[in-house]
């Protein structure tokens, strides 16, 4: 067997492995069977596209069943799985020509699965969002943010946020350092829908996350060579369980989820060479969550050093953040006496070593069936190697976000900042099409 033949076989199995990587860790029987139907659909589509024998499909069904039995805390029934497997086999076999010609059908199905499972599993979240938290009852940041949202019905953001601090279960008169206050951008975004109900936030999130899935699909199409275009659908499929976590849990109120959405869209605009839209979205991202200044500042520096077209435009997000920070500091100073000198902007450092670094990789990974194998850390390491195989403009766009978890070795307060993983993990997923394209090119594989 020729060397290229071995490479081709390895690549085909790697593509099939991506499908298994995206198997969901279900929250109930509905998730289990719907998620499995989606995974088997992609598996069969890939098998037919890669011209692999059909018996691989039945091996895949068996492996999926065994994995579900091993890792899911559910009583999985074999008969429904066999019925689903047969239904998928029939539908994909009949409609394969249409799926090959119109892969957007698979993307539409993926979006429907996301919306259905998110709605099915978020009843408790919707109940929580629809009520203004009672004074003194909220104990965490999510309650603080929701209280701020409701307070903004009659007050501006800063007054509303201060009042939310005062009626926290551990009341304060408001932090005396600037970093203790969230930037107002996302809170005003939440108020865009003129409904005096926290459910509006959930509707906005579902819309934004649907656009995120579409964006990663379109980015994959741009980055992958023609022979691998059919693989584009697997990348929103891989990101879906991660986004599903926020769509069903009160963690959706964490600002990180909203900031990273702007970054995902900025990545799409960058690859489409829409510079002004790129810098606008980057500005919204960094003005939503200040930690994003690290990768966005590095991108601006790379643009200057590498002399990208319109390179000075990439300084706009940095300048926008600087202006936002000045206004932000002024508004806070009107309400509370800020700490003097450098303490006003004192960075927070921890002494927990790699604890925060590791917990950010764990955050949200439990939505994947194989989470026990630390799949996020593995994907991160593979992505770094793949990007370094071909240091070009797109690699330079993605790599600055890989610096974030490294900075968490010192920046932060404790391992409870684990939601900071949201600021880089979706970008790691987003870089995978480029990684695959680089490997495909370097190994000179012929499919």
pLDDT value, residue 54: 73
pLDDT value, residue 91: 67
pLDDT value, residue 416: 73
For the stretch 345-378, pLDDT in tens is: 777 776 676 778 889 999 999 999 888 889 999 9
pLDDT value, residue 100: 74
For the stretch 6-49, pLDDT in tens is: 777 777 777 888 888 888 877 766 777 777 777 878 877 877 78
Dig out the tokens for 108 from the structure: 């539409």
What is the DSSP code string of 102-159? Answer: -THHHHHHHHHHHHHHHHHT-HHHHHHHTSPPPTT---SHHHHHHHHHHHTTTS-HHH
Tell me, yes or no, if the pTM score tops 0.85: yes
pLDDT value, residue 317: 97
What distance in Å separates the CA atoms of residue 257 and residue 278, rounded to the nearest whole number? Answer: 18
What distance in Å separates the CA atoms of residue 404 and residue 414, rounded to the nearest whole number? Answer: 15
pLDDT value, residue 78: 60
Residue 295 to residues 109, 203, 299, Cα–Cα distance (Å): 33, 29, 6
Question: Which residues of the chain fall short of a pLDDT of 70?
Answer: 1-4, 28-29, 55, 65, 67-96, 98, 341-344, 350-351, 353, 391, 414-415, 445-447
pLDDT value, residue 79: 58
Residue with tokens 């968490």: 408
């Amino acid at each position: 067997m020729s060397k290229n033949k071995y490479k081709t076989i390895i690549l085909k199995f790697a593509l099939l492995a991506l499908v298994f990587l995206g198997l969901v860790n279900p929250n109930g029987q509905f998730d289990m069977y719907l998620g499995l139907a989606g995974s088997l659909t992609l598996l069969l589509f890939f098998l037919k596209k890669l011209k692999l024998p059909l018996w691989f499909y039945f091996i895949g069904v068996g492996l999926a069943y065994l994995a579900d039995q091993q890792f899911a805390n559910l009583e999985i029934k074999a008969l429904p799985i066999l019925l689903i497997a047969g239904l998928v086999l029939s539908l994909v076999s009949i409609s394969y020509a249409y799926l090959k010609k119109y892969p957007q059908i698979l993307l539409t199905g993926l979006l429907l699965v996301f919306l259905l499972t998110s709605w099915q599993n978020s009843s408790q979240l919707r109940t929580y969002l629809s009520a203004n938290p009672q004074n003194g009852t909220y104990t965490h940041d999510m309650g603080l943010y929701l209280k701020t949202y409701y307070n903004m019905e009659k007050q501006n953001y800063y007054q509303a946020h201060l009042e939310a601090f005062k009626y926290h279960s551990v009341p304060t008169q408001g932090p005396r350092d600037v970093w203790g206050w969230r930037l107002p951008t996302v809170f005003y975004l939440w108020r865009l829908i003129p409904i005096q109900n926290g459910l509006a936030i959930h509707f906005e999130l579902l819309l934004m996350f649907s656009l995120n899935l579409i964006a990663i699909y379109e980015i994959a199409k741009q980055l992958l060579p023609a022979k691998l275009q059919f693989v584009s659908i697997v990348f929103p499929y891989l990101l879906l369980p991660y986004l599903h976590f926020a769509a069903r849990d009160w963690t959706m109120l964490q600002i990180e989820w909203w900031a990273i959405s702007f970054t995902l869209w900025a990545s799409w605009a960058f690859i489409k060479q829409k510079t002004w839209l790129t810098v606008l979205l980057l500005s919204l991202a960094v003005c939503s969550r200040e930690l994003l200044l690290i990768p966005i500042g590095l991108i601006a520096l790379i643009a200057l050093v590498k002399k990208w077209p319109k390179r000075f435009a990439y300084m706009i997000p940095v300048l926008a953040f600087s202006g936002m920070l000045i206004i932000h500091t002024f508004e806070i100073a009107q309400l509370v006496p800020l700490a003097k000198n450098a303490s006003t902007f004192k960075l927070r450092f921890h002494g927990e070593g790699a604890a925060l670094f590791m917990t950010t990789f764990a955050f949200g990974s439990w939505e994947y069936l194989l989470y026990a194998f630390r799949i996020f850390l593995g994907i991160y390491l593979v992505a770094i190697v793949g990007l370094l195989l071909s240091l070009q403009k797109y690699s330079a766009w993605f790599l600055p976000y890989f610096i974030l978890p490294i900075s968490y070795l010192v920046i932060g307060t404790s391992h409870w900042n684990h939601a900071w993983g949201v600021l880089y993990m979706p970008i790691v997923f987003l870089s995978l099409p480029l990684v695959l394209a680089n490997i495909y090119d370097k190994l000179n594989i012929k499919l």
